[in-house]
Amino acid sequence: MTRAEFTVLLVRALQLSVEEYKGTFKDVPATKKWAAQQIEAAHRAAIVFGKNGGSFDADANITREQMAAMMMRSVALSNPDILNGLPNNKKYKDESKINDYAKQSIMNANELGLMYGRSNGKFDPKQPTTRAETAVVLYRMLEKFDSIK
């Protein structure tokens, strides 16, 4: 699952309005028609911010920590109060490998029952997300938050 593919799935699930691509990210050409407008919509909604240097890295595999961060920004977009007061007691054996920007999202996703760590006690934040994991996480998100749109 690539960063572009997951972004498109989120934008469609949220039914965000898409407009003509304005070139927000230097590495997402307008000719990438299947994803450019959705990436732009996700950026406008503060779901994605890209990477250093104004790039998005659309064709890179999305990592588990990136997916958690994007998903929780999506949840917060339509349910801003849901994240208030969530306990953050979950610890992972590889917590030191989780980037700061994703730590809170990973904890919130766990508390809300949307995304969990592995059976070995690790989260594997840098591991690419599989299509199967993506399907399960999106299903849980849409089922739990039927008002996400």
Same domain, 67 and 42: no
Same domain, 5 and 72: no
Q: What is the pLDDT of residue 47?
A: 97
Residues of the chain with pLDDT under 50: none
Q: What is the pLDDT of residue 86?
A: 81
Same domain, 72 and 142: yes
Nearest to 129 by CA among 69, 65, 75: 65
Domain boundary (60, 85, 107) is at 60
Same domain, 76 and 18: no
Same domain, 81 and 148: yes
What domain range is 8 assigned to? 1-60
Q: What is the pLDDT of residue 37?
A: 95
Cα 13 from Cα 30, distance rounded (Å):
22
Same domain, 91 and 117: yes
Phi, psi of 19 (to 5 degrees): -130, 180
Same domain, 21 and 70: no
Burial 47-76 (b: 16+ CB within 10 A, else e): bbebeeeeebbbeeebbbbbbbbbbbbbbb
Same domain, 92 and 135: yes
Same domain, 47 and 72: no
Dihedral sign (CA 69, 74, 67, 138): positive
Cα 131 from Cα 137, distance rounded (Å):
10
Please count the structural domains in the chain.
2
**Residue 3, token pair as written in the block:** 């960063």
By the 8 A CB rule, do 57 and 101 touch? no
Cα 82 from Cα 118, distance rounded (Å):
25
Nearest to 108 by CA among 131, 146, 75, 62: 75
Q: What is the pLDDT of residue 148?
A: 55
Same domain, 140 and 108: yes
Residue whose structure tokens are 């349910």: 79
Same domain, 91 and 20: no
Same domain, 48 and 84: no
By the 8 A CB rule, do 103 and 66 touch? no
